[in-house]
A and B are shown apart, each in its own frame.
Chain A
């Protein structure tokens, strides 16, 4: 193998193995930052050795063994240093020897638990959303700081700082490296799912910048979701979120036109939907339902997405069922955005006037003041009712509100359409 090929291979091994490596090490050293440093040291050792020796049969095991030795050395040195100051030195040393032995014998299942612990820690509510996202992508997604910065259109130094601060916050708050239990578990899982879906959405409908989508982020989020589903197969909402993301991702190629412009769901060429992802999404939804999670907020959204996925044409869409699912979603996870979507579904099931009535109730909703989709949807319904002048004003308002350049162009086009050809009636 050429040296360049070996470097490529090491890079690939790192991407595949680093989350498990960091997770396993974090259990011994109880510090995510230190665990990552140790893993990086092992990577450096591999970069030195492997070009000569070739890639070992089990590269992950090699990296783990190398990092473990360093971790054990480090713990012993620390214990010696601490024993000079502390009465409980002996006890601490024993504990750390235990921890070191632990990882020597760690079975696969334990590594899985370590990975879960790492996910829960990186998504801990003590951290800000931005910090959770950056830490999760870095430690579990295997992304470089520069890649995260590019994906979120922020300077690399900002992301680096977020990660450093997040690690410090976790250490200062003495966040235990553990899988939460009992009542806490549900809230903590919500926090993890929120982070994953945030990453997905930033890829799916970029809130800023020139591109309408950044599919690589969608793939990162999906990968994290699938990992979590394999680690926590009994958590229904995890499957619900995976189902939602798989089905939404199935439309990635259909929701953008040749010059990068967004194409709305009902205008999409359904033959371009990715049937493999739809199949996977429907299977994940079935898993969520059979785990008793049919009424979870993510499972309900996935069920709505599944209604679209099952319809071969836009006309075949079961809007009555979609409206009913939104009803249910509005009950379990009420939000103005859900109400807005419910209004759209109702307008499709029972006509634009019925939808408009629901929308107008949202007009005074403070949280929707800056939400461009409210005037956008309202414009759409007004246009269907033949009230084109009012529709134009709404589309123009929506165009002013969005931060996405592609979306703005689309909205201005729709406004121009309303101003153009004279109404038929």
Chain B
């Protein structure tokens, strides 16, 4: 099963301290050694980003920072794991590093299963039901 974990927080906290970056790198190496990390990355601040929005039938392109959203995505990892509980455990370790090395920081890591093409092929009605039950 494939999972994406996404870390979100307010941007006011700025850049993480070097100790945290080092600790995360260590965790990343551990994930690679465990054979479960497929991909991982950190995202640049939204100030350098842009967004394409669809609202009321109209498209608009907006430059960052994304002042509308409180918490923004800061990074992600893609895992291949036998079950979701291991994705939770890896995320717990990731957040534990934040607690230890960046006490002022607050945020959330979401664990989301990545659909395979099969999951996307089920009838829309069933998929809607599946989503409603989450």
A interface residue numbers (CB < 8 A to B): 8-9, 11-13, 15-16, 55, 57, 112, 142, 216, 219-220, 222-227, 230-231, 253-254, 258, 272, 276-277, 280
Contact = CB atoms under 8 A, between A and B. Distances in A.
Contacts of A223: 34-36, 80
Contacts of B118: 253
A227 B92 contact: no
B82 interface: yes
A215 to B, nearest CB: 9
Q: At the interface, is chain B mostly helix, strand, loop or mixed?
A: helix
Contacts, number: 59
A188 B88 CA distance: 36
B27 to A, nearest CB: 12
A227 B82 contact: no
Given A13-B89, A16-B89, A280-B38, A230 B82 contact: no
A230 B88 contact: no
A9 B35 contact: no
Contact of B86 (A15, A220, A226): A15
Interface string B33-50: 111101100000000000
A286 B35 CA distance: 18
Nearest to A111: B33
Interface in B69-127: 78, 80, 82-83, 85-86, 88-90, 92, 96, 100, 116-118, 121
A219 B82 contact: yes
A36 to B, nearest CB: 19
A222 B82 contact: no
A333 to B, nearest CB: 26
B86 A225 contact: no
15 contacts: A9-B89, A11-B85, A12-B83, A15-B82, A57-B100, A219-B82, A223-B36, A223-B80, A226-B32, A226-B35, A227-B33, A227-B34, A276-B39, A276-B78, A277-B38
Contact of A272 (B1, B34, B90, B117): B117
A353 B121 CA distance: 40
Contacts of B34: 16, 223, 227
Contacts of B85: 8-9, 11-12
A12 B79 CA distance: 14
A224 B100 CA distance: 31
A112 B30 CA distance: 11
Contacts of A253: 116-118
Contacts of A219: 1, 80, 82
A226 B39 CA distance: 13
Contacts of A112: 33
A89 to B, nearest CB: 39
Given A12-B86, A253-B117, A225 B78 contact: no
Interface in B4-43: 32-36, 38-39
